[in-house]
Amino acid sequence: MNFLTTSGSYSRRSAGALLLVGLLAGVVVGGGVGVIAASSTKEVTVCANKKTNVLKYSKNGRCSAAETKVLLNQIGEAGIAGAKGDAGVAGLNGATGLKGDAGAKGETGLKGDTGAAGTSSPTGFTARSVCGSNGTTLCAVGVQGPGGGTIVYVDTANEMTGYDYLEVAPTDASSGIAWSTSTEKCGTAADTNCQSLMSGTDPPVQTAFLSDAGTALNYIALGTGRAATAAIVARHNAGDVAKTEYAAGVADAYSTATASDWFLPTKDELNEVCKYVRNTGQTAGATAACAGGTLQNSSFSNPYWSSSESVAGEAWYQSFNNAGYFDYLGYPRMKTTSKPTYEIFVRPVRGF
Per-residue pLDDT tens listing for the chain (352 residues) = 444 444 444 444 444 444 344 434 344 433 333 444 444 567 788 898 988 888 888 888 889 888 888 887 766 677 788 888 888 898 898 888 898 888 888 888 888 787 665 454 555 678 899 999 999 999 999 999 999 999 999 999 888 888 899 999 999 999 999 888 878 888 888 888 776 555 555 555 556 678 887 888 899 999 999 999 999 999 999 999 999 999 999 999 999 999 999 999 999 999 999 999 999 999 998 888 898 999 999 999 888 999 998 777 778 888 888 766 554 444 332 333 333 347 889 999 999 9
On whether both 64 and 165 belong to a single domain, the answer is no
On whether both 316 and 211 belong to a single domain, the answer is yes
Residue 334 lies in a domain: yes
SS (H, E, C) the chain: CCCCCCCCCCCHHHHHHHHHHCCCCEEEECCEEEECCCCCCCCEEEEEECCCCCEEECCCCCCCCCEEEEEECCCCCCCCCCCCCCCCCCCCCCCCCCCCCCCCCCCCCCCCCCCCCCCCCCCCCCCCCCECCCCCECCCCCCECCCCCEEEEECCCCCCCCCCEEEECCCCCEEEECCCCCCCCECCCCCECCCCEECCCCCCEECCCCCCHHHHHCCCCCCCHHHHHHHHHHHHHHCCCCHHHCHHHHHHHCCCCCCCCCECCCHHHHHHHHHHHHCCCCCCCCCCCCCCCCCCCHHHCCEEEEEEECCCCCEEEEECCCCEEECCCCCCCCCCCCCCCCCEEECCEEEC
Residue 104 lies in a domain: no
**What residues make up the domain containing 290?**
150-351
Residue 102 lies in a domain: no
- Work out the burial of residue 30: count CB atoms within 10 Å of its CB; fewer than 13 is exposed, 13-18 middle, 19 or more buried: exposed
Residue 126 lies in a domain: no
Examine residue 170 and say whether the peptide bond preceding it is cis (omega within 30 degrees of 0).
Answer: no
Domain count along the chain:
2
Per-residue confidence (pLDDT) for residue 263, from 0 to 100? 98
On whether both 32 and 163 belong to a single domain, the answer is no
Residue 131 lies in a domain: no
Per-residue confidence (pLDDT) for residue 245, from 0 to 100? 92
Please say which residue of 21, 54, 72 terminates a domain. 72
On whether both 193 and 47 belong to a single domain, the answer is no
Residue 326 lies in a domain: yes
Please say which residue of 40, 72, 104 terminates a domain. 72
Residue 171 lies in a domain: yes
Residue 300 lies in a domain: yes
Query: Partners of 35 in the beta sheet?
Result: 26
Please say which residue of 72, 94, 120 terminates a domain. 72
On whether both 162 and 290 belong to a single domain, the answer is yes
On whether both 340 and 194 belong to a single domain, the answer is yes
**Whether the model pTM is above 0.85:** no
On whether both 198 and 312 belong to a single domain, the answer is yes
